[in-house]
Amino acid sequence: MTVMELVNPATAEVFADVEMLDAAAVDRAVTDAQRAQRSWAGSTPASRGMALRAFAAAVEAHRRELADLEVTNSGHPLGQAMWEADHVRDVLTFYSATPERLAGRQIPVSGGVDITFAEPIGVVGVITPWNFPMTIASWGFGPALAAGNAVIVKPAEWTPLTSIRLAELAVESGLPEGLLQVLPGRGDVVGEAIIGHPGIGKVVFTGSTRTGRRVMEQAAQSVKQVTLELGGKSANIVFADSDVARAAATAPYGVFDNAGQDCCARSRILVQRSIYDEFMERLEPAVAGVRVGDPRDDGTEMGPLVSRPHWEKVASYVPDGAPVAFRGSAPDGPGFWFPPTVLTPQPDDRSVREEIFGPVVTVQAFDDEAQAVAMANDSAYGLSGSIWTENLSRAMRVSRAVASGNLSVNSHSAVRYSTPFGGYKQSGIGRELGPDAPSAFTETKNVFIAVGPDPQAEGTS
């Protein structure tokens, strides 16, 4: 039996371990999931809606417990972890309306009646990363369950605990045993077994672009559907005609939330040259003001990085002699602490081009709107981004011109469960959340019923 030791990122101490499963466990899980899915899809739409609301209520009742698990396992600040537990509840509540609304269509045809059915795929695999373990799991299992599927989640190696607890809460709240299962294990063992399993019809993967490419290659072997939510290197574009004070005050939170371990992090700040000096003068105290510390404290805004290996990776972007403009603070002592860091590198520096996934932001100047758009789009990624301007026409023009799936004007809005989320270019394929997400977990079945050109001849009157 392989065991993974789980480390508290704030103390660097091992606090629990978890059994890492193997491919045989995936086989067993799929058999159980198929059985559960048949009874789930066979139950009434109203009862499925009620069951999802009961699951949401169980999450609500255990929100503090789930948040505490995430604080210890992932180093998330308590306030953020509470938001995450509430977000899971909201995702389930939002999609609890789906079973009674997932209607097909009736399409005009000659000679008969044509109707479509939105049928469940069957068993869906959801492979999640370590940065937002419970919320990202719910983006997969919420709409997938609502569309009548069973779901098998493989959490990231370092951060399985909230997902494991959510699957227990699903059963405690009355969902059929086996309908939502969580299988901790290695990506190249359990993850690959899920992708290769003939009993699983779709895989939702969230993680790095490098691994996402591999997931897509493997899924191609069995022509399996994939949704991929991958990396980002998003721009925060600040125009001279913006509320510069607000743009500077909020910029740290657009990138340093979750210690920058966020695929939506606005990790490239682009500032119009005429306000560059003013912006930097305002940004410095804002960065210094980010409260970095014990994630268990209510007021903490930023915790540690998730692990020692990840700390090493982030640190490699700030070598000795790096063009550091200024830095915030971080606690000394054990734990994987990294202070918020602002760099002013050359455009071709790897800190400008690669996803760092830590609290490191680059700042570059631009001269006009066309250059801002060109710089924002000069990336293999296209996940999110922000645009700061008081000029509505400019806001619309730039929103349409930036090749990215999720843009915010005069804000760094977090993901909303009611709106679609996903990336352009190498940031992914498909969309999660929003009103259409359940459809991504269905097969469309088209049925034509011949009525005949002559009702008399068919024996009807």
Instruction: By CB under 6 A, name the binding residues for ligand ADP.
Output: 127-129, 154, 156-157, 187-188, 191-192, 195, 207-208, 211, 214-215
**Is the Cβ of residue 99 or residue 191 nearer to ligand ADP in the bound state?**
191
Q: What is the DSSP string of 423-435?
A: -EETTEES-BSST
**Is the Cβ of residue 176 or residue 185 nearer to ligand ADP in the bound state?**
185
C-alpha 139 chain-centroid distance? 7
C-alpha 141 chain-centroid distance? 12
Residue count (the chain): 461
- Report helix angle 45-61 to 161-172, nearest 10: 130
Q: How far apart are CA 266 and CA 255, in angstroms?
A: 5
- Sheet of 360-366, strand order: 324-327, 341-343, 360-366, 268-272, 235-238, 384-388, 406-409
Residue nearest to ligand ADP (CB): 187
CB of 326 to ligand ADP, least distance (A): 28
Q: Residue holding tokens 């509505």?
A: 392
Positive or negative, the CA dihedral 436, 438, 440, 442 is: negative
CB of 48 to ligand ADP, least distance (A): 28
Which residues, listed in sequence order, are joined to residue 31 by a DSSP beta bridge?
Answer: none
Q: Residue holding tokens 């679609």?
A: 420
CB of 129 to ligand ADP, least distance (A): 4
In 3D space, the residue among 430, 84, 439 whose CA is nearest the CA of residue 230 turns out to be 430
Annotated catalytic residue 229: yes
Q: Rg (Cα) of the chain, in Å, rounded?
A: 24
**Is the Cβ of residue 33 or residue 126 nearer to ligand ADP in the bound state?**
126
C-alpha 170 chain-centroid distance? 21
**Is the Cβ of residue 93 or residue 128 nearer to ligand ADP in the bound state?**
128
Q: How far apart are CA 256 and CA 266, in angstroms?
A: 9
**Is the Cβ of residue 202 or residue 394 nearer to ligand ADP in the bound state?**
202
Question: Parallel, antiparallel, or unpaired for β 268-272 and 360-366?
Answer: parallel
CB of 205 to ligand ADP, least distance (A): 6
Q: How far apart are CA 62 and CA 84, in angstroms?
A: 12
- Other Cβ atoms less than 10 A from the Cβ of 203: the count is 27
Write the CB contacts of 304 (distance below 8 Å, at least 6 apart in sequence): 9, 10, 75, 259, 295, 335, 336, 337, 338
CB of 74 to ligand ADP, least distance (A): 13
Residue type, 413: S
- Other Cβ atoms less than 10 A from the Cβ of 24: the count is 9
**Is the Cβ of residue 88 or residue 365 nearer to ligand ADP in the bound state?**
88
**Is the Cβ of residue 156 or residue 235 nearer to ligand ADP in the bound state?**
156
Residue type, 160: P
Write the CB contacts of 348 (distance below 8 Å, at least 6 apart in sequence): none
Candidate list 70, 192, 229, 432, residue with the active-site label: 229
Given 3-state DSSP classes, what are the helix, strand and coil percentages for the chain, each rounded to the nearest 5?
40, 20, 40
**Is the Cβ of residue 187 or residue 358 nearer to ligand ADP in the bound state?**
187
Write the CB contacts of 281 (distance below 8 Å, at least 6 apart in sequence): none
**Is the Cβ of residue 158 or residue 279 nearer to ligand ADP in the bound state?**
158
3-state secondary structure of 415: coil
- Tell me which residues are annotated as active site: 229
